[in-house]
Structure 1
C-alpha cells in the first residue's frame, strides 16, 4: 500500500520528520471503534489503540484521532495526531458543549441529499455552512434521480442556496452523474459523504468503487432509504482516491462556523454591507438593503430567516464556549493555588 495513494504529501513528510526520527511510522485512520482504530499504513491495514500518554494529554474529544486523521504509530499504539489540513466538525448532540470531528483531511465534501422526501433547502444551507468552514471544497449531490418525478425543481432550489458550488444529479441505479463525481477524485484525494440516513451514501461509494464494499439496504415502499451505516469508514477506491462514508446525521449542530456562515450566505452579507448603518439589525432601520431586497422579492424571506437562525445558534455557542473557557481557567487557577499551598506547608514543616 503506497502512502501517496492514501493522501500522503511532501508537506506531511516534512511534518512527520520528528516522529520518524523517534522510530514511529505514519498511518491514516480508516475506522474508529470503541477504544480502537483500524488504520492504513505503508504495510497494509492493522488495528491500533491510543497510547496512554496521548490519552492522558487529551483534554477534549477533538484531541483524539478521527477518521481521516494522519497519526504516528509504534507497535500498534497511536502516539500522536498530525495537524489536520481540513476538518468537518459539529457540536456534539444534546447539551454538551464540545467539538466532534466527523471527517479529517478531506479534499471535497459531498453533501448528499435525495430527491423527494429528504430534499430540504434549509438543511442544505446548514450543511453548506459546515462544509465551507471545514476548509474542503463542497459539492451538492442529489441522489435517486431515477425515482424523481421532478428533477429541475430541486436542482433550481439547490442552485439558489449553493452559490458557486457544483451540483450533481446522480442515480446509483442508472449510473447517471457518477462520472461527474469522479472528477473530484484522483490519486490521494479524499471525498467525505455527508447527509441524512438512507440517501444512498454507501451505495454511491460502492458504485464509485465498482464493487460492494459497504453494506446497503433496499429502499422502503415510500421511497425513503433505510439507515445501514453505523460508523465512519475511509475506503480506498480502486480507480484512485478515497471515500469517507458516514452514518446519517439526525442532528447537525454548528461548531465555530462564523467564516462558513459568511461563505454560505454571501448574498445576505453583501446586501447587509449596503445598509445605511453599519450596525443595522435589519428590522425597522431606515435604509436597510436587506429588508428592501426581501420586499422586492430579490431575497427569499425564508432564506434570510435561515441565516438569522444559524447566526443566533453560533452566538449562543460563542457564549457557552466563553463560559467554559472561563471555568477551565478558574479550575486551573484553583489547582495551581492548591499546589502552591501544599508546597508552602511542606517547606514550613522542614
Structure 2
C-alpha cells in the first residue's frame, strides 16, 4: 500500500531527474498520464500514424539524446499492433541516442504462451522477449506475469511487480473473508492474498479441455460456508472461469462473492456473464485500458500508477525495488 505522504515523496522534481522521460504508447495513454502525474512530470511527446495498408509509423517529437527513457505500453487491443509499436518505439529511442530505454509493459499479453504444451507450436512469449531485447530495450518492468519464469526468457533485467497490495487494499478486511483460488496453479499467489487479508484459502479444481478460453469447475477444496468469498486471479478474458467459480462457491454456502483480478482484458460476452453472475464486485487494475466492451457497473478499477511511478523512481535513482515485493 502506498500512502499519500509516500506518493508525495515520490514526486521527482529538481535537477536530479532532468534526464528522466516517460512516454506512452497507444496501448497505455491514460496510465502513462497517471504515472507522470505521480512523478510530477509531463509525458514525453511522440506520435503514431497508422497507414491504410496497416503499417505503423512511430516518431519521437523531442530530443532524447543522453536521456533515460521509460516507455509505457500494454500489448493488447490490438495485441499484435501494440507489440509491433512497442518495438518501433524502442528502436526510435535507441536511434535517437537515448542513454537507456526501460520498457514498462503493464500487461504482457503473450505471457500466457510460455511453454510448448503441444507438438509443433511456438513458445510465443520467448519470441516476444527476444524481439524486445533485439530492438534495444535495456530493462523491462511488467506486472503479474502469468508465469514468473518468463523472466528467464530475457537476458536483460526484468522486474515483475505485483498488484496484490493495491487490490487487497480495495478488497478491505471487513466481513468473514475466504480467499478462493480459481485453480491449483494460482494457489501459491492466492495464499499471499489470504495472508495479507488474514483469511483462509479455498481452491477450485477446474479442467480446461481446449482453446475456447473457458474451463469447467469440478470441485471446491476448502470451506466457504457462511463466509464472504473473494476470488483472486492474474487475468480474465471472457469472465467464464470467474463466474463458474463464483457459482460454485455460492452453491457451497458462501454468503457473498467478489473477485479481484490484476488484468481485466474483457472480450465478447464477458460483461453479460459478469452481470448475470453472483459476483457483486470485480476489482481490476488499469493495466488494460482499451477494452472493446463497455464495462459493467460491477467493475471497479484500481490504479497501479503509484506502483509503477515508484518503480521508475527507484530504478532512476539506482535504488533497490525489493521493497515493492515486501508484502
**Shorter-chain TM-score above 0.5:** no
Larger Rg: 1
